[in-house]
Structure 1
Amino acid sequence: MAEPLPRAATLPPRRWRRLGLALLLAALIGALMVLAATQAQRRAERVAGERAQEQLRLYAGALQSFIERYRRLPSVLALDAELRAALRGEPDAAQRAALSRKLEEVNGLALTSTLTLIDRQGRGLAASNWRSPRSNVGVDYSFRPYFLQARREGSGRFYGIGITTGVPGYFLAQAVRDEDGSFLGAVVVKIVLAELESEWAGNHDIVLVSDEHGVVLLSNRSPWRYRELRSPSAAEREERARSQQYAGLTPQPLNRDRVARDYLWRSLALPGEHWQLHLLHARGDIAAAGRSAALASGASLTGLLFLLLFVQQRRRLLQLQKRSRAELEELVRQNAQALRSAQDAVVAAAQQAAQGQVRSLEHLPQGVSVIDAELRLVSWNRRYAEIFRYPPELLRVGRPIEELLRYNAARGLLGVRDLEAEIHKRLQHLRAGAPYTFEREWADGTVLEMRGNPLPGGGFVTAYADITSYKAAARELRELAGVLERRVAQRTEDLAQARGEAERANRAKTRFVAAAVHDLLQPLNAARLYLSALQARLREPETQRVAANIEEALSAQDAILTSLLDISRIESGAIAAEIRDFALQPLFETLAREFSILAQARGLSLRVRATRAIVRSDEALLRRILQNLLSNALRYTRKGGVLLACRREGGQWRIEVWDTGIGIAEHQREEIFEEFRRLDRGGEAGAGLGLAIVERIARRLGHRLSLRSQPGRGSVFALRLPAGESPAPAAVAQVAAGGSSLQQRRIWCIDDDARVREATRELLQGWGCVVRLAAGAEQALALQASEPAPELLLLDHRLGDGEGWQLFDRLAPQWPKPPAVIVISGDQDEALLARWRERGWAYLGKPVKPAALRALIGSLLRRAV
């Protein structure tokens, strides 16, 4: 029996035609799906490229803002007179250590990596990392490009790996020049950019920064770092080796062709640094968009095919009996449901794509919003909603930005001016498409920095950063810098030229000036100790009177310097006012002696009326108020005189300072209490701080300050303060000069200032003490090996080779009994004072008053017996 033929061979011609038609339709659908996928990939690539450019602009702004934060720091330090003086001469080890400590303090405040002072030969003279085993001090940097650029052009920049620390960073250098323009050396700041890499790490795209030679310096993916984007020339290889840019590392080439196949690559130039910023977006997302488009087009074409078959079937069914219509209607319903399901899938895919765009902004620390050319919201991130506290239902794609502006206006975020005009102005600015940067402060004190840039093809992207804390810190630093400017005129003159350009370096400037005041206190301290030793040797009344006047002048001078440091601490609440009841007459007598000579020199009369007033206040702070008022009155009085008096006013006392000066106009009476406000009143030029200090102290003490003035006739400053009760007589123990209580007592003085050591020796030997001196650890250890243990130790807190407590801990184990310790320092930090109290040590602030020193020494030695 013959085998039957295959079933396919028995198909009728009609079935063959249907099969051929189905294959043709399938091929057509496949071709259309490929075309749709190709178009979708191109569109996704274009959109991804535009989004990449937007992100590159944001990254570029963040990178340049980060670098600008430190760019002016070396320029400010290059103006410092002490650094110039060190570069002119040959500083000894102690001077270099003092310079390194200063750079260390500035570096800690500015949050940079290192600060280095380089001499004209290119060798590190001082550095902020001078305590580290890998210190920059003494290292030759003459071959580094930033030093060569600074010597040649005045400033330099360079990215490389540190030759001592091994840490990569960006070096900014500024030449230090003498008055004649000759090159003395350079100040170099090193910035570590790892913070930016950490911020970029959350982005799923790859972010690169390459230098002018095509070497990747920064990346949010560590394997991409130090890769070559192009082959270097022979000259570039030679320069790289000469400058030791990568300190032993060899950058590896990157196969850009292979990377281009896997990633969409977009770049943006950073002309300020001669760098390029790159963003690599994985093409897998673009391919996924193509696949989604292909599936969507396939589903649509399949639905269309079903529709065609349905029409054909309907024509046939019209010829059939009515009983088949119910089945046909059911088939129509099922096909319609299939079409709706396919359309729902397309909508869901589009929504997921939109969500993906939003997630691409979530890693940014700033709030970001994007609007299209019709000023409608396109995308945003969570930080944007948090900053403006928008309700979730308000933010949606397509919402006009005008509605958000009106919502903000209703909450008072646009100010109190004409709201319609403000909204119209903002809309016009967005339509104009011009870049902008500005700051706005809200009623609750929040300060926002807003940066806007137009997008290609229309639209706008805006970044919002909360800079409230930075602004508050800047205001505080400006206030402290203003207080210190009066007593350090030369340094203020140098720094004032750069102050407008160095807002970001104010914290370092404040500490720098504070160190300068500390340096001014050192010679004053030595002068007072020398004077006290001299007074013990004087016998003639006239010379004793002159010495007493000198002592009063030095006392007034150190009180003023100390007050400059204390005012800012009082303002912040760090120092509490010591309120007590005291008689006002002794203070008036002191002020009369202090200012009578100045008044006589100006040809003016100074009258101080006697008073029996008992007031409740802080005596030291009240004295500073009256000193400033009297000094101000004498400065602006050309003829006549000044009167200081006090009178009862109900339950208070009213202290008044009258002058016969030229007076103050009505519109200027509030301005004179502002910092740095110098009015043209015909007197001597001042820093404009005296009355600002008066106003702050009076406000801190709760004393009401008032002013009456008549132009051409004079002014009256009045201070109201509460009345006090008569204090009980206090017994004051005094040790007679030349007594025997300190005879042959062994005392060591450890201080890195030679003038202070010699003055202390003169003073203590005049009291009969056996004195030994040491400048630091080396001399102190040598004394310990050859001398008996001291009974008392005068210890400076800041020594050239460390801190005083560290040296004491090295010395104490070798002594049978630890000596009593008096710490002598200009630092008044509460944490330090607490640490010294825990050790049982006494403290005296610089400049030291000899009477207080002698009383404290006697007390400690008697306690130790």
Structure 2
Amino acid sequence: MYSTSRKRALLLTLLVMVGGTLLSALVAGRYAQQRALDTESAQVRRQLDLYAQTLQQRIDRFGTLPQVMALDPDLQDSLSRPLTEAERQRLNLKLQRANSVTRTSTLTLIDHRGVAVAASNWDQPASNVGEDYSYRPYYQQAMAKGTGRFYGIGMTTAVPGYFLSQAIYDADGKPIGVIAIKIELRALEQEWLQSTDIVMASDAHDVVFLANGDEWRYRLLRPLAPNERAEMLATRQYADRSLQPLRSRTLDVLADGGRMVRVEQPALPRPMLWQTYTLEGPNWKLHLLHDASASGAVGRSTALAAGGIWLALCFLSLFIQQRRRLAAHRQRSRRELESVLQQHAEELRTAQDGILQAAQQADSGLSRSLAHLPQGVVVIDNEQKLVAWNARYLELFRFPSDLVKVGRPIEEIFRFNARRGLLGPGPIDEAIERRLNHLRSGRPHMRESEKDDGTVLEIRGNPLPDGGFVTSYADITAYKNTARELRSLADALEHRVAERTRDLDEARREAERANRYKTRFVASAVHDLLQPLNAARMFVSVLRGKLQGDARELSEHVDAALAAQDAILNSLLDISRLESGTLQTNVRAFALSPLLETLAREFGIAAQSRGLKLEWVDTTAVVVSDEALLRRILQNFLSNALRYTPRGRVLIGCRRDGDQLRIEVHDQGPGIPESLQGEIFEEFRRLNDGVEQERGAGLGLAIVERIGRLLGHRIGLRSTLGKGSVFCVTVALGKAEAVVTPVPVVAPADPGDESPLRQCRVWSIDDDPRVCAATRALLERWGCNVELADGPQAALEIASAFNVPQLLLLDVRMGEWRGPDLYEELCVLWQAWPPVILVTAERDDALKAHAAEQGWGFLPKPVRPPALRALMTQLLVRHRGPGG
């Protein structure tokens, strides 16, 4: 019965260990795999968003080109009458030059019959001139609706592309032809080749027309309806291309809309994560197939770790249980032994002489009272001679049958064991004498001893009242082996934990290095992008001053587009500065009312243009914050409120909250779903319910969140679907006596004929030739004499004491030269210190502070011409002094 219950307990323990290991491995592996898959899906979604923005920007880049070219009087005149060969040739050359500037694939002018009158590829073998395009949808759409869009394969060039068209009207408003441009999108496929994922774009019929692999292009994501096939044949959209199906089977649907699929044709060896993004303008879809096998590896690793932890816990539990069992067993044996010893001691005290005489006459010293003990026990008298022992004692030491006898001195037993090496290394006599002295001292002892065969004995000795000694020997080999195994397992687990900790530290350091690299890359990229943008805005300013009527209005639209691009780049730079911690703050106490009044006045005009009403509630509160950064937060709140409010009103006001003030912006927009309220504060996150023409880049709220974190201001959001949203920022209240009234800055008067800029000698130094040319044109329009508009080397070559400029415009970063260092070199050559304006794309607060200390001007790129003009006038007036 005992054996059966023991087997049952062992079987139950094994079942718990094995079952628990499998269950913990399964649950942990599944959970870790799902978490890893969700993380990968989010990363894939963000990557797909970037691809979609790149594709949309490439199309938007040419969106207004057909509209601009449709206003060309030469094109209108060429469609209103028959052309001579010379006129047709001039028209071809004009389209060819325009195509080389705009860098489209093809520009084609089509008459009211659908026949191409002229084209930019007139000199190519596959020229469009004379071809009939009346069957093409972009021609039919433009003639019917004014504009058209269509993706297809060119019938003459056999090159696929995206066609944008615009109708050309006569004086009576009747369409007389179409101007069409073709944009090649194959460059996107080359960019997609850098990705290890599969990237595809499909049209409204779910036909894949762009992909980073030839086997994926011209695949059908679903069967085509008969009317769709007829339409594609009529328009010859994909010419003679064979459309093969892309067969896949959905295995699982993720929470964010992604799918785990098994692609069967073309065949892929493993399941893929499929994410889809819908483009609103062209009604296309972007697809990305990502190998998610890494999540399976994470799940397997986690499963192994969970199983190992469960086994370790089981072994630890068994170890603790074994320790308790051994401790209880030793206690029980000790109590039994003490009881026996007390009994023997009592008998020895009452009849010592009779016991000794009976012991000496006995043939064997085996004691029946000690026979049941699991330990080996030996008893000696006060003369250190054997009195009694049990069979377990003989079994443990394997003594010969004639060695252990009553009355045998214990010294002979020690010597026999010493010859077998059981007393350890060293001289035998010293080891024996040391043990005999210990017995004579009558002190209790406990120690462990290991024999040559691996047996470990626990030796306990206790003195008897009459001077004798009793010693017990317990075999604890199994306990020691279990303890060693558990220590080995614990060491192995500790080693794995240390390795995992090192791996995590390395991953953290790698992530920090990547983040620092990203911050430096964004700052450098924005700097390089601001250079041509600065030149473009100056050229547009010069152009706007020379144009009238529609052309001037068109130049203002171009300037507005450049200003929007400027805002996006500045937002990216702000995010970079916020992440790198280089943005300086100026926290002080100031009255909030002037800031709210200014914002209400600025955004009130924009609200009226949209048919909205902007209301604000005045306040006497004093807050503690950085006024410029707080203004930036509220500007983003108001801009979003106006963008997403189709009708009604927008309100900005304050609520007190203890010793803090909550500034709130209320709108009457569509509201924000709760699932998206956390995501909209991320970069490039934006809702699709705003005004299409004014969709932002998705950076405003990301900057708000970072500024709030920098200033310690809490950013809040409440929203109700269908009713509107409330964005708020909570700032600390200040005291009125802590407010410092700023010194008003007198703006320079509008320059007239007596402006200081008239005949002013100006040098402009920049390493970008486009910026130099734009600056020269702008300054000369203001009446300045621009003696130099070139780079650092040219300035050093001609600088002397005879050509000191009255004013210097100086870039900061120019290859191996820095602006302030170059200024020092030039002043030595000039032997004078003319006023200087640093014009730079760097947003360096330390550089700005240094310029202020030196009395220099400082303007960030891209330069707004009115700001440059005002600062130049101010510096010239200050340099000339009151007596000017």
Normalising by structure 2, we get a TM-score of: 0.39
Bigger RCO of structures 1 and 2 (CA < 8 A, at least 6 apart): 1
Q: Please identify the structure whose Cα radius of gyration is greater.
A: 2
